[in-house]
A = this chain, B = another copy of it.
Amino acid sequence: MKKTNPPDIIIGRLPLYLRALHRMADTGSLVTSSQELGEWVGISAAQIRKDISQFGEFGKQGTGYNIQFLTEKIREILKIDRVWDVAIIGMGDIGHGLARYQGFLDRGFRVRLAFDNSPEKIGTKIGDLLIQDIAGMVEKINSAKIKIAMVAVPANHAQEVADDLAKTSVRAILNYAPIRINVSEGVHVQYIDPATHLQWMTYYL
């Protein structure tokens, strides 16, 4: 389908378009324009059209984009027209917040496994999710064939966890630990770091 690989920065914008499209659909809208979508996500209409045209002809000149159709197409492109199982490593406050987060299931993700090293937490449940001993992590992730992990352990344990994940089926890591982790080629890492976001905004204050 793809002629060339679109730049990573464009891929990174597609989830933002998707989120805006969901909100528009929630308000009962059926069609949108690159102008409207642009206002929702804070990107120029021209850039929106350019980004979307990388993947095909999804809009009609003069009539704009059908919201449901464009939503389905972006979900296909991002491969979230299915449900991905996810493991959480580290069940502190952040891990608990992720386990209870309501925004995953309707956006392509299901938290399937949770691990911690604390004897007080191992064996307890968050809803239906059992917190298991991190000592069995490699085996359990592999037998569930899980490809996505969210790492929410303290910074001084993050590399160790990443090294263990390298022995598993995991190919994408969302890292909440405030430290860079080294992974082997073919493993994708994204970071969530509140201080980085705050520092971006102070420039404008």
- Any chain B CB within 8 A of the CB of A58? no
Q: Which chain B residues border A92 with CB–CB below 8 Å?
A: 97
Alpha-carbon distance between A94 and B148 when the two chains are bound, in angstroms: 21
Contact residue among B19, B86, B201 (Cβ-Cβ distance under 8 Å from A188) = B201
Q: Are A102 and B40 in contact (CB under 8 A)?
A: no
Q: Which chain B residues border A86 with CB–CB below 8 Å?
A: 198
Which stretch (A64-72, A73-81, A128-136) binds chain B? A73-81
- Which range holds the interface residue count of chain A? 35 or more
Q: Are B107 and A199 in contact (CB under 8 A)?
A: yes
Q: Are B198 and A109 in contact (CB under 8 A)?
A: yes
Q: Which chain B residues border A203 with CB–CB below 8 Å?
A: 11, 14, 77-79
Minimum CB–CB distance from A64 to chain B (whole Å) comes to 20
Q: Are A97 and B93 in contact (CB under 8 A)?
A: yes
Alpha-carbon distance between A11 and B19 when the two chains are bound, in angstroms: 24
Q: Are A172 and B103 in contact (CB under 8 A)?
A: no
Find the B residue at minimum CB distance from A75: B199
Q: Are B108 and A171 in contact (CB under 8 A)?
A: no
Minimum CB–CB distance from A70 to chain B (whole Å) comes to 15
Q: Are B78 and A199 in contact (CB under 8 A)?
A: yes
Q: Are A194 and B174 in contact (CB under 8 A)?
A: yes
Q: Are A171 and B19 in contact (CB under 8 A)?
A: no
Contact residue among B16, B96, B195 (Cβ-Cβ distance under 8 Å from A196) = B16
Which chain A residues have a beta carbon within 8 Å of chain B's beta carbons? 11-12, 14-16, 18-20, 23, 40, 77-80, 84, 86, 92-94, 96-98, 100-104, 107-109, 147-148, 150, 155, 171-172, 174, 178-180, 188, 190, 192-205
